[in-house]
Amino acid sequence: MNHVVFISFKLLSERKRQAIVSVLGVAIGVTAFIVMSSVMMGFQTYFIEQAVDINAHITLKNEEQDEADRILRVAYGDGVISEVLGSKPKETKDKIVDYKFIISKYMQSEDIKGVAPHLTGQAIVRYGIKEKSVNIIGIDPQLEVKASIIDRFMEFKRLNQLNVDRNSIILGSLVARDLGVREIGKKVTLVAPNGSVHVLKVVDFFNSGITSLDQTRAYLHLRTLQTILDRPNQVNELVFKIKDVDDAERLSRVISRETGYYAESWQKAYSNFLKIFRMQNWITYMIVFAILVVSAFGIFNIMMMTVLEKKRDIAILKAIGFEDREITWIFVFQGVFIGFVGATLGCLFGYLLQEWLSSIRFEVVGLIRARGFILDRSPVYFVYGFVFAMFFSTLASFYPSFKASKLFPVDIFRSGG
């Protein structure tokens, strides 16, 4: 086998420039795969973890049903064919009946870590001459910390102040910024949908890093919001935190069937974002696949040119006793070597580029807010990049190797090749 390796290196060294270009092509492909996967998955993982854990793994609520033809079906039965051009939405009570029993029931489940009640609504918050429309959420702080990680995103860690002072409010960090509230202890005015006006003290700021949440949310104690909205002892949502987030879809169906309410899993709530993320991943992998295929064609080109130029040498090797298998391995080894060196360099370049990107600091404001790139540093990307590079490089060398092994010495000598 040593003579096969020696000849393989000898042939490869005679085409150094082309070999270096092929190695760099493989390295660039592996580097691109590692870095693009790290950036894409880092952003996606950050968004999903933040959004899912802040909101809920499963949300139980009344399902909104728009049955425009409900009156016709009551009057004429289901057999009537009709087209309704306009219909007033059906008035339904937006509340969950006997929610305390549901909480106590599912708190005993092994699959569920916590359940918390919510009362949600819309309101306007004023500070001086500025005002902003917000989604107000009434929570029970003791139950909420078991069902979400909201306490992690409190800038001053004063979530329990909602228990101490019922006339208090927690504003989203961007809500506070837009209103001009720069420190806690300030008094703001909340105007409820029923027209009532309430003065509340800001006790903390909610800063999740997700723009759509931080610029629209405000938290109050559940009892306080029930009083403000004139909905005593009512809630319109229950949020569940489960042990296995990937099991949310199945558990949501079970909870919906057992309670009679609509249970929405985080996968369904964020289905649009998940589709966009899948599309991003496909585009990323297609680009990297194209780079690796181009580098594989470079390897293929080197092998074929070597076979064509070294026909006489191959004929001599076969004439002195080299078997077809050994001729094949001479050229396959060249592809494996190029792939190995290129993949190793690609992993090294990928690591160095990750380190450089992680050191860059700049403001990211959009779907999420962060300072710099959010990277997923998982070693699995290095493994996949290395394996893909080796696969394409080896595959590219097989056909030229096969062609070389099938050359007949007599034909080569006769033709003067």
DSSP state of 151: G
DSSP state of 233: T
Amino acid at 52: V
145 and 254 together in one domain: yes
Distances (CA, A) of 28 to 291, 389, 391: 8, 10, 15
Counting the structural domains of the chain, the total is 2
Whether pTM exceeds 0.85: no
Q: Is residue 108 part of a domain?
A: yes
Q: Is residue 81 part of a domain?
A: no
pLDDT (0 to 100) of residue 359:
84
Alpha carbons 56 and 149: distance in angstroms, whole number: 9
Q: Is residue 214 part of a domain?
A: yes
Q: Is residue 59 part of a domain?
A: no
CB atoms within 10 A of CB 113: 14
pLDDT (0 to 100) of residue 197:
93
Which residue, 235, 260, 285, sits at the end of a domain?
260
Alpha carbons 40 and 284: distance in angstroms, whole number: 8
Which residue, 238, 260, 282, sits at the end of a domain?
260
373 and 253 together in one domain: no
178 and 279 together in one domain: no
pLDDT (0 to 100) of residue 348:
94
Q: Is residue 364 part of a domain?
A: yes
- Count Cβ neighbours within 10 Å for each residue of 74-106 and write b for 16 or more, e otherwise: eeeeeeeeeeeeeeeeeeeebebeebeebbeeb
Task: Tell me which residue range forms the domain holding 189.
Answer: 90-260
Q: Taking the chain (417 residues) in consecutive chunks of 10 residues, what is each chunk's mean pLDDT? A: 68 74 84 86 76 79 63 58 58 77 90 92 93 93 88 89 92 93 93 92 89 89 93 91 87 90 86 80 80 74 67 65 71 80 91 88 61 81 87 77 63 54
**How many Cα atoms occupy the beta-carbon half-sphere of 205 within 13 Å?**
19
Q: Is residue 267 part of a domain?
A: no
282 and 380 together in one domain: yes
Q: Is residue 76 part of a domain?
A: no
Distances (CA, A) of 41 to 284, 401, 410: 11, 38, 57
315 and 371 together in one domain: yes
241 and 121 together in one domain: yes
pLDDT (0 to 100) of residue 297:
75
245 and 328 together in one domain: no
281 and 240 together in one domain: no
| CA dihedral sign, ordered 51, 52, 55, 61 | positive
Which residue, 260, 285, 301, sits at the end of a domain?
260
DSSP state of 323: -
Q: Is 134 helix (H, G, I), strand (E, B) or coil?
A: strand
Contact between 19 and 338 (Cβ < 8 Å) = yes
pLDDT (0 to 100) of residue 219:
95
Contact between 239 and 59 (Cβ < 8 Å) = yes
pLDDT (0 to 100) of residue 37:
85
252 and 304 together in one domain: no
Q: Is residue 379 part of a domain?
A: yes
223 and 369 together in one domain: no
245 and 359 together in one domain: no
248 and 106 together in one domain: yes
